Amino acid sequence: MLADVPGLVPGASEGAGLGTQFLKHLSRTRVLVFLLAPDPAPGRTPESDFETLEREVAAFDPEMATRPRLVAWNKIDLPDAQEKVEDLRRMLESRGMPLFPISAVTGEGVDALVRAIYKGTRTRSATG
């Protein structure tokens, strides 16, 4: 199952916004893909968005936080996104998580992300 989870905000695990509805939807997935972009809302950063996603998923269901997780960095076709890749890669590698720079516009990196998602679902279904 693939789930798109827009609007996950701080406090979602406690019912803020539509958070618990979105998080319940995630409970049926085998792999979590966090999609980050170089243009978050004012006062946010891609790093803080990632931290919020991690925190809310773990607070809602600690088991979900143990599932395979990937991070897609969208809009790699834009200079702002390219400049941030290595900083994000280092942050994520320190946590043992891969980063997949992608462009929804050009398709760059999408095949690698899809293969990683497939691999993650195969690993999960084989062991659990």
Domain ranges in the chain? 12-127
pLDDT given for residue 67 in this prediction: 86
Q: Which residue has the higher pLDDT, 24 or 52?
A: 52
The bridge status of strand 32-36 relative to strand 69-73 is parallel
pTM > 0.85 = no
Mean pLDDT, the chain, integer: 80
Mean pLDDT, rounded, for 12-20 = 55
Tokens linked to 78: 């834009």
Mean pLDDT, rounded, for 94-98 = 89
How many percent of the chain have pLDDT more than 70? 75
Amino acid in the structure at residue 18:
L
User: Does the structure show a pLDDT above 70 at 3?
Assistant: no
User: What b/e readout covers 62-99, taking b as 16+ CB neighbours within 10 angstroms?
Assistant: eebeebbbbbbbbbbbeeebeebeeebbebbeeeebbb
pLDDT given for residue 76 in this prediction: 95
Contact indicator for 71, 90 with CB cutoff of 8 Å: no
Tokens linked to 12: 């979602």
Tokens linked to 35: 């999609």
* CATH number assigned to the domain with residue range 12-127, chosen from the 4 options 3.20.20.80, 3.40.50.10540, 3.40.50.300, 1.20.1300.10: 3.40.50.300
CA distance 49 to 44: 7
User: Does the structure show a pLDDT above 90 at 30?
Assistant: no
pLDDT given for residue 127 in this prediction: 36
pLDDT given for residue 124 in this prediction: 44
Contact indicator for 103, 97 with CB cutoff of 8 Å: no
**Maximum Cα–Cα distance across the chain:** 42
